[in-house]
Structure 1
Amino acid sequence: MYKSLSLILSIFSFSILYSQIDTSKVVSSEFEAVEIIAYFSKQPLLGLTSSANTISSELIEKQQSTTLLPAINTVPGIRMEERSPGSYRLAMRGSLIRSPFGIRNTKIYMDEFPLTDAGGNTYLNLIDPASISSIHVLKGPDGSLYGANSGGVIRIQPKGFNVNENKGSLLLNAGSFGLFQEQLSVQRKVNDKYSFSVDQSFMRSDGYRENSALNKMTFQTAHKWKYSKKNELKVLALFSDLHYETPGGLTEAQMLEDPTMARQAAGPNPSAVKQKAGIYNSTFFGGIAHESRITNKLSHTISIFGSYTDFENPFITNYEFRTEKNLGIRTYLSYQDKFKDNIEWQMQLGFEGQKGWSDIDNFDNNQGTPGAAQAKDELDNSQASYFYRANMKFYQKWTIEASIGINQAKIEYNSLFPETTNSSGEIDFGDILMPRVATSYLLSKQLAVRGSISKGYSPPTIAEVRSSNNIINTDLRPETGINYEVGLRYETPNRRFIADVSAYKYNMSNGIVRQIDENGADFYVNAGEIDQKGIEASVWVYVLPPDTDRFIRKLNFQTAATYNNYRFGDYRVDENDYSNNNVTAVPDYVWTNTLTFTFPKKIELNISHNYTSTMPLNDANTVFSDEFHLVQLKGTWNWKVSSALEIQFFAGIDNLLNESYSLGNDINAFGGRYFNPAAGRNYYGGVKLWF
């Protein structure tokens, strides 16, 4: 462990040493300004009032092409896990104690279309990484404009909406544990008015552990049509068919004995292998957006979207079938103007609403075959958000903005089986006002300071109100809180060095916490107050700018550090007092580094490192995970065959240091089954063609 840490520190020190070169003595290359799509437009990151990051498609491609996890984890304040292939979990400025799988607290969009459905669930694992143009991250509560969230907002830009040239690619990848991956991507700019993309993928893997195989097929298409000078239409459609097996958690003794085993039989409960535990998810997601520039100052945007999901989950104690249907609309007016060229201002007024219908049926699981009925429920949920934002910029230096949203959430339920005296009803989470006030000031052309106060709000999701114990919990309340934040951004005149730091304090009330019963089924309780404090810092350095005369033609370095000080307030469960304990599943420290070397002959080497400190795995803080250093390598060689064809050969190593770690733990697990061991050192390689 100490040798691996010394290696990482040596690389980090090497990069910092080079970054201190006097930029006035090097090639005066000026790098492009970092821009982010936020608050209804694309704008430079330097003067933004929020803590934010942009993940480019280039950064995604430099990592393993099968998953978004390494790229997303380069953003401080975000923790993404993959307990087994395909089983994603993600938390932004929060813990994973709400999430058995999936995403909570965070609102995710694909362009103008919310991927987060009306029930609060987000199936991020349906998206293929190769179909993404960029990812834009806004950290901290932003419910004033984007509906319910307490962690932040992620906007994924699909390929097809910003096509500048005709191009296509085909990727074939194979690796350890029976991995095979195929990706086909085609973008076409038919003319100045119409462009589109088609992205198709297939992936399979046997997995590192027993009962952890994955099969995934996706098809995505995006179209943009500027049918008149002032009107534009965008269409997005995604279909994904996903099946992955779920191996389940192990005790520490089982993990040490054989980390590749799946969950074993215990008491009356059979093993994961015997029950054929897994997830089947077939989803169609689509939307149509229209933008009209009514005048030079006034525009209107409207998007209509929906999804249909067939979900099947053979679990240890039951076999679940879910049918989920969602429809929604998002629309807003935007107006912008100037006063004497020194003051710019704009405002937006809009509405976002979603309606969802979920049918959930549970049966006995007879070794992977549905048996007798256990429970059948219908849950209809709705969410609505009315929002207004005003923004003013003075002399291109000082930005002040204020926004406010009124959010509503309701769930109507009807228990069909077994019938009870309270078999139907409504859970109304009420109307909540969500304001945000923020400012940013340019102290110089390269240095900006910012601050904000905002309210967070996250109602329980359908999967939490009606969790795997098959009980509809009418007592669960939404998380709310106030976030206070300050930050600083700096960039050198030619943008060879960019730094960003932020500090925040979020006082959460009614924090939602996951618990596990003796059968392994989850349920949720409100944990009272949770005090969340954090510091996040990022640095991007072009250590060596492009130069064809050097052996190292180019060297880029990126580092991100996160410090979390999360503590429970007054929190008791039965006779147990967890007050003032560390919040479950939150590491105190996370540190990521990325080095990219470019050599002659278009050879490139990417080295990424992730350090995650220990974290408590139960609310009592009696069990902790081990810290780990995860190092990954990927090398590429590009060969330009002709003006119309280029071939890339690539190879990579995952977990170079062969660490024993768990990338995704089961929280508050009954029987001590906390651990989902990740693979040791493993390999992959393949070829990619551009045409």
Structure 2
Amino acid sequence: MKHFFLGISLPLLILLYPATIFGQTEPDTLQGDLGDIVVVGYEGNRSLMETPGAVSNIRAERISGFDESSIVYGLNAVPGVRIEQRAPGSYRVAIRGSSLRAPFGVRNIKIYWNDIPFTEPSGSTPLNLLDVINMQEAEVIKGPAGSIYGAGNGGAILFDSRQSNRNVVGAGAMIGSYGLNRYTAFAEQQTDKANLRFNYSNQSSDGYREQSFLERQTAELSSRFQLNDKQIIKTSFLYSDLYYGIPGGLTLQQYQEDPSQARPGNPFVLGSVEANASIDQQAFLAGISHDVEINDILSNLTTLYGTFSAFENPFNLDYKKDSRKTGGGRTRFYLDTEIGDVRTRFTFGGEYQAANYAARNYENAGGVTGDLNFDDEIKLKSSLFFVNTEVDLPSEIYLTAGLSYNRLKYRLNRLETNLQDDNTGIAQKTFDPEIIPRIGMAKKFFPGMLVHGSISYGFSPPTIEEFRTNEGSIALDLEAEQGTNYELGFRGSFYQSRFSYDITGFIFKLSETIVQQPSDRNSTVIFENTGATDQYGIEVATSWQVIQNPDQFIEGLAWDLSYSYHNFNFVDYQRGGEDYSGNELTGVAPHTLNTSWKVNTALGSYLNLNYNFTDEIPLNDANTVYSKAYHLLQSKIGYRLELFSDFNLDAFFGIDNLLNEKYSLGNDLNAFGDRFYQPAAPRNWFAGVKLNIKL
């Protein structure tokens, strides 16, 4: 724990004695003042120093600053956010513990990509279809954001593959441990009124564990056209071809004996290798946005999109095949006016999504489809209407208030079934309409400090994977989770913006909590509403530009730190004759710490060091099994060279898990057969080169 206390004491010492530690400094040119960071937030599109809410902006250098083969490094640097990778390409994202009900995939969080709803109307998000090259910038909204973005108690993440507005081409290659090969290419053309960018990535690896291979290709074409002084058209096209293995969870004994093995089989269940447990998915997305200034005070931004995907998932217990079609749109009107001397912005609009799935479940006959279990046609519809008001009051007080109206309907037609005690026919669930309010206020006490507070309500209905489980049951009685969030924080910077901080405390009350349980039919999971949770937390993010002088050998030295304290507990939770009230919330680490140091020299060489501490995590509701706390150290060295005025090269070498920790980067919660552990790779390396040519 000495690393943990060192990480906490240093930022506190800086806050208490800044003059002693910092001395005299020069203006910031690397990160910039927090006031220069413009965030979408709650559709405000304004400075972070005028935004009442827990919002974090992640720039491209943070997302791809370490290992470009994964987004784990960038997102785990945000306090309150934990992204797990149980196998290459298999992500699970939690914001403030929101992954409790996600045995796989991304749930309880609303995700957008280039203004397009990337989360399906069911509430699940195929985040693994995106490559790092498709995520040049991200914005994380922590806590319920339903007043603007609809369902999801965890919050929202806004990804953007923003153009650089240059004429440039580039390519990159990377190799590494366990057969890692990665190739990327991009080209961008800029004219007076248009911008066109193409991104391509091809990544493959064998993986550390058996059945943990990854093959992914993505191709993206994005454009921006300035039709006239008042209209802009943006388009985004994405094709993704994803195929990755699912090694499966291990028991403690298996984990200790050989963490590289896949889940073994037995006379009743296939092992992961024998079953070829994997995900094979191809998807195409097309979206178009129209941004128009209607008059001096009114503007509109409308996005329409459609996706088509084929999904195949052989698993230890079954074999799923889905064909999915999804479409919809989002529109918002912005009315900017002044009432007296008070600037006011009204935002109102709506979002609609519809999906149609042809979903079939088979027996797994040694990695190929066997007998049909059941065949379903699934239709989903979700809609929300929202209104938000932002008022800039005198004395630099910023008030925001929003409200949304939400509807969701599932309709399942079971066309055929061979399950015992099951019938064909229609089952449908129309969830009660949800009215979701939020109010927030911020006060700037002086240019370098903002205090903000908010109260928000949220809800999270069950996803289609929870409503219709792999073992065939349909949970018509499953209801949406309900939560209320209270938040207070302050952020700012001082010493010419060389040091910035963002500290937030919150209380979140959740009822009708959805938890996963083993199924009586087989060893898959089912879901049920049980009890409530009390969630208290503090999240801290600091950044310090220690050295920033282009005339010295060490041109730049930057230090970042994030820390989360989460005290989450079950309230009034009984199951199977056991009372779990007062137990720690499953899957949440009480303490997490992430800190990094970045050094740049006049010769073009650089060094990045990143340290992560993750406390022990309860793996079951009874709190009888915990994961081991771990210390993860990552390093990367590189050299940037400008060969000609328009030709740049970046060569790098990195080591992940430098301390060779034995840990699990993603655990299976309440796992059937006590298979809790998904071991991560021991010490491993990567190396690569990137070339950019300005045209």
Report the TM-score, using the length of structure 2 for normalisation: 0.95
The C-alpha deviation readout for 1:222-245, integer Å capped at 9, x for no partner, is 111111111111101111000000
C-alpha distance after superposition, 1:169-219 (max 9, x if no partner):
21100000000000112222122x110210000000000001111000001
| Corresponding residue of 1:498 | 500
Counterpart in the other structure of 1:355: 354
Shift of 1:38: 2.1
Deviations 1:360-387 (A, max 9, x none): 1111111111010011112111111011
Aligned letter for 1:385? Answer: L
2:479 to 477, 480, 484: 477
**What residue in structure 2 maps to residue 233 of structure 1?**
233
Structure 1, 466-475 or 120-129: larger mean CA deviation: 466-475
C-alpha separation between the residues in 2 aligned to 1:484 and 1:243? 41
Amino acid in the other structure paired with 1:180: N
CA deviation after TM superposition for structure 1 residue 625, in Å: 0.2
The answer to whether the Cα contact below 8 Å between 1:19 and 1:543 also exists between their aligned partners in 2 is: no
Match of 2:79 in 1: 76
1:675 to 674, 677, 680: 677
Give the Cα separation in 2 of the matches to 1:14 and 1:240. Answer: 47
- Tell me how far 1:21 sits from its aligned partner: 5.3
Q: How far apart, in 2, do the equivalents of 1:533 and 1:350 lie?
A: 33
| Pair 1:531 & 2:534 matched | yes
Look up the match of 2:177. 176
Distance 1:659 1:175 in 2: 18
State the Cα distance separating 1:105 from its structure 2 match: 1.3
Q: CA deviation at 1:9?
A: 8.5
The answer to whether the Cα contact below 8 Å between 1:629 and 1:659 also exists between their aligned partners in 2 is yes
What displacement does 1:39 show? 2.8
Distance of aligned partners of 1:13 and 1:148 in 2 relative to their CA distance in 1, 3 Å threshold: closer
Question: Is 1:221 matched with 2:221?
Answer: yes
CA RMSD of aligned residues (A): 2.0
State the distance in 1 between where 2:17 and 2:672 align: 50
1:99-114 equivalence runs, <5 A:
99-114=102-117
Q: Deviations over 1:511-531 (max 9, x none)?
A: 111223374312111122111
Corresponding residue pairs, total:
685
Kept in 1, the 8 Å contact 2:554–2:601? The answer is yes
Structural mapping, 1:211-360, within 5 Å: 211-339=211-339, 342-360=341-359
- Which letter maps to 2:508? Y
Distance 1:430 1:13 in 2: 46
Answer with 127-136 or 607-616: which moved more.
127-136
Offset at residue 670 of structure 1 (A) = 1.3
**Per-residue deviation, 1:19:** 6.8
* One-letter identity of the residue aligned with 1:130: I
Which secondary structure does the structure 2 equivalent of 1:70 belong to?
helix
Aligned residue identity for 2:681 = A
**What is the rounded CA distance, in whole Å, between the counterparts of 2:171 and 2:667 in structure 1?**
35
Q: Quickly say closer, same or farther: Cα 1:673–1:680, change in 2 above 3 A.
A: same
1:423 Cα offset (Å): 2.6
Q: Is the 8 A contact 1:88 1:102 kept in 2?
A: yes
Aligned to 2:600: 598
The answer to whether structure 1 residue 620 and structure 2 residue 622 are counterparts is yes
Mapping 1:462-611, distance limit 5 Å: 462-492=464-494, 494-517=496-519, 519-549=522-552, 551-611=553-613
CA offset digits 1:562-594 (Å, max 9, x no partner): 111111111122222222211110110111001
The answer for the alignment partner of 2:371 in structure 1 is 372
| Structure 2 letter corresponding to 1:665 | N
* CA distance in structure 1 between the aligned counterparts of 2:393 and 2:319, rounded to whole angstroms: 60
Q: CA deviation at 1:24?
A: 6.3
Partner of 2:255, secondary structure, is helix
Q: Is the 8 A contact 1:171 1:182 kept in 2?
A: yes
The AA in structure 1 aligned to 2:139 is H
Cα distance in 2 between the residues matched to 1:17 and 1:170: 46
1:122 aligns with 2:125: yes
Alignment match of 1:36 (pick from 35, 39, 49): 39
Question: How many angstroms apart in 1 are the aligned matches of 2:511 and 2:309?
Answer: 32
Q: Which runs of 5+ in 2 are unaligned?
A: none
Please state how far the C-alpha of 1:137 moved relative to its aligned partner: 1.1
Partners of 1:14 and 1:498 in 2: CA distance: 14
CA distance in 2, matches of 1:101, 1:468: 12
| Change in CA separation of 1:395 and 1:416 when aligned onto 2, cut-off 3 Å | same
- 1:584 aligned counterpart, secondary structure: coil
The answer on whether the counterparts of 2:28 and 2:545 sit within 8 Å (CA) in structure 1 is: no
Q: Secondary structure at the match of 2:535?
A: strand
Give the aligned partner of residue 460 of structure 2: 458
Deviation of the 1:548 alpha carbon: 2.1
Q: Aligned partners of 2:632, 2:591: CA distance in 1, in Å?
A: 14
**Structure 1 alignment gaps of length 5 or more:** none
Change (3 A) 1:681 1:356: same
Return the offset for 1:135. 0.4
CA contact 1:446–1:493 (8 Å) conserved in 2: no
How has the CA–CA distance of structure 1 residues 621 and 189 changed in structure 2, closer, same or farther, with 3 Å as cutoff? same
Task: State the Cα deviation string for residues 301-321 of structure 1 (Å, max 9, x = none).
Answer: 211112111110000111110
SS of the equivalent of 1:582 reads coil
2: CA distance between counterparts of 1:324 and 1:155?
Answer: 23
